[in-house]
Chain A
Amino acid sequence: MEEEKLIELAQGGDRKALGELVKLYEQTVYNFSFKICRNKEKAENTMQETFLSMVKSLSQFSGQSKLSTWLYRVVSNHCLMLARSQGKHEYSSFEDENASIDEKEIADWKVTPDKVTENVELKNMLDAAIQKLPAEYRVVFLLRDVEGFSTEETAKMVELSIAATKSRLHRARSFLRNELNRVLAYE
């Protein structure tokens, strides 16, 4: 059944249709939550909160945006709120982004992205690097570069201007690349 029809039925109280909607998006929501939190317990908690929020607000869902886009926004906001409540702000690494580029000698990385599915060490390194990014930067990087939303869509989801979104994206890309380079440049 089409998503639009499922939403309509779920809005009318059809529990089976609601279950179908949950099944349709639970993997996406869990995976994206994990990508922000880098922790399976927190990812599960975020997924539960997101779907509870969906059930609560579904009657007001107008269908102007896709349900998936709306879910991404809920996950992002939940994770940002969580990070703010934990007081995790580590902006010191971003003070002078231009100084972080040493253009004299740039190494050619030998490792290919395919290795990530089987290499636990590499996964740990990716987790460690992205966890150093403040959540506000992490969310923008993940929405735009990893999940493939446009800069405009990303800006809308995190309620930032396009200029501020681009600035965070630039810093996140540069920061993550430099973090990975510390290890991958010498392999």
Chain B
Amino acid sequence: MNEIKPTCKEVMLHICDNLGEELNSAKCISIKAHMENCNNCKHYFNSVETTIEFYKKYNVELPEEAHNRLLDILGLKE
């Protein structure tokens, strides 16, 4: 059986392509094996994950005035 040995660039492209998907595919398994011994790719993976986490955690609260204006526009004010 031919063992897949991806380069760092292929690993980084794969990370942006398949983040968290098809984790059991042959390609994904070879990517994980590569990352175990490659700090650069590990850092790249972490930075992509952190980027997503930043945007997940950045939330805004609906201001009360905006809530009131919405009910007013919809004719739903009690």
Interface positions of A (Cβ within 8 A of B): 15, 18-19, 22, 26-27, 30-31, 34-35, 40, 43-44, 47-48, 51-52, 55, 98, 101, 103-109, 111-114, 116-117, 122-123, 126, 130, 141-142, 145-146, 151, 166, 169-171, 173-174, 176-177, 180-181, 184
- Least distance between A174 CB and chain B CB atoms (Å): 5
Question: B48 near A151 (CB under 8 angstroms)?
Answer: no
Size of B's binding interface in residues, CB under 8 A: 40
**Is there contact, CB below 8 Å, between A109 and B50?**
yes
Q: Which of B48, B52, B71 contacts A146 (CB 8 A)?
A: B52
Name B's A-contacting residues (CB within 8 A): 8-9, 12-13, 16-17, 19, 21, 39-41, 43-44, 46-48, 50-63, 66-67, 69-71, 73-76, 78
Query: CA A116 – CA B78 in complex, angstroms?
Result: 37
What are the nearest 8 A-B pairs in CB distance? A113-B53, A103-B8, A106-B40, A30-B62, A106-B43, A174-B16, A19-B76, A173-B16
Pairwise interchain contact A173-B48, C-beta atoms closer than 8 A? yes
Contacts A19-B76, A22-B70, A106-B43; is A180 near B54 (CB within 8 Å)? yes
A27 nearest CB across to chain B (Å): 5
A27 to B70, CA, bound (A): 12
CB-CB < 8 A to A117: which residues of B?
Answer: 57-58
Which one of A106, A123, A130 has the greatest number of beta carbons of chain B within 10 Å? A106
